[in-house]
Structure 1
Amino acid sequence: MRQTFYQYLMTKRDPNDHGEIAGFAQNAFLDHSFPKQETDFDALSNYLELNGNYLQSMSVFDDVWREYLASEQIGG
């Protein structure tokens, strides 16, 4: 079964890591409206563009998305 983007992103949460990706993961965790079941790039991107004021740059999302796709190819 395919892992959702949110599930993958939660593997990046680390309270001791103050990098952009860990920060994105923590803020997405705190965002109760985050589309947790979504696997579609456009839907997630649109959500973050409208609601992801906690993202310093959409390039952070793009980087994690590429990692997510790579993990799906390896694991799936």
Structure 2
Amino acid sequence: MRKTFYQFLMTQRNPESYDPVATFANNAFYDSAFPKQATDFDALSKYLEENAGYLPSMTIFDDAWRLYQDSLA
């Protein structure tokens, strides 16, 4: 079964890191409405643009998405 983006993102959590992807993961962990089963870029991007005030730049999501895609290869 394919790993969801959220499952991947949780592997990037590190409360002691200032890395933007780690910070994104830390904040997404506390976002109870995060689409945890999503694997679609557009659906995740739309959700984050509309609901994730904790994400200062969508470039961080793009970077995390690239890492996610690499992890599936």
Under a length normalisation based on structure 1, what TM-score does the superposition of the two structures give? 0.93
RMSD between superposed Cα atoms in Å: 0.6
| 1:5-44 mapped onto 2 (5 Å cutoff) | 5-44=5-44
Using the aligned pairs only, state the percent identity: 60
* Aligned-partner residue type, residue 69 of structure 1: Q
Summarize deviations over 1:21-66 as a string: whole Å, max 9, x none. Answer: 1110011000000000000000000000000110010000000001
TM-score, normalising length: structure 2 = 0.97
**Aligned equivalents of 2:16 and 2:54: distance in 1?**
18
Q: 1:2: how far off?
A: 0.4
Structure 2: gaps of 5 or more residues: none
| Dislocated runs of 4+, deviation >6 Å | none
- 2:56 aligns with 56
Equivalent residue pairs, number: 73
| Distance in 1 separating the partners of 2:12 and 2:68 | 11
